[in-house]
């Protein structure tokens, strides 16, 4: 049990460090790279850093939520895999929203539909 807890805390620490590094690189992209002068560089890096930052912080939040719930038969590895999947889904959905915003086709109901699709996929995978 101690080995699993040590491994999970190490993994959570690595995800937290990756999240803070992604947040730092997002601020660099936002404040130092101009999308008007170099859109071929700025937009892909913006989308990548947004994905990494949202995915890592959502993974940490989802793990804390799953850890606070008492579900029978769910060990730390299962909680972590579910939290990682949820973080990746939220990050991917957020990048889709940004792409739709950049293309000029985003409206409020399209945003709700994008998140609803990922929510339904997560519900199907969880059951």
pLDDT tens string 36-88: 787 888 899 999 999 999 999 999 999 999 888 877 777 888 889 999 999 99
* Mean pLDDT taken over the chain: 88
pLDDT, position 3 = 54
Q: Among 74-78, 109-113, 120-124, name the one with the lowest average pLDDT.
A: 74-78
What phi-psi label fits residue 104: left (phi over 0), alpha (psi between -120 and 50 degrees) or beta?
left
pLDDT, position 42 = 87
Which residue is it, tokens 């850890």?
67
Mean pLDDT across 83-112: 94
pLDDT, position 75 = 84
Q: With bands split at pLDDT 50, 70 and 90, how would you rate the model's confidence at 9?
A: confident
């Amino acid at each position: 049990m101690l080995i699993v807890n040590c491994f999970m805390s190490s993994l959570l620490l690595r995800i937290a460090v990756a999240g803070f590094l992604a947040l730092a690189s997002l601020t660099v992209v936002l404040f130092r790279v101009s999308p008007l002068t170099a859109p071929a560089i700025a937009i892909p890096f913006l989308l990548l850093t947004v994905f990494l930052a949202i995915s890592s912080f959502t993974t940490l939040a989802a793990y804390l939520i799953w850890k606070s719930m008492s579900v029978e038969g769910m060990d730390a590895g299962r909680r972590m895999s579910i939290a990682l999947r949820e973080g990746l889904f939220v990050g991917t959905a957020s990048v889709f929203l940004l792409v739709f915003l950049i293309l000029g086709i985003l409206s409020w109901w399209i945003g709700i539909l994008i998140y609803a699709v990922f929510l339904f996929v997560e519900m199907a995978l969880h059951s």
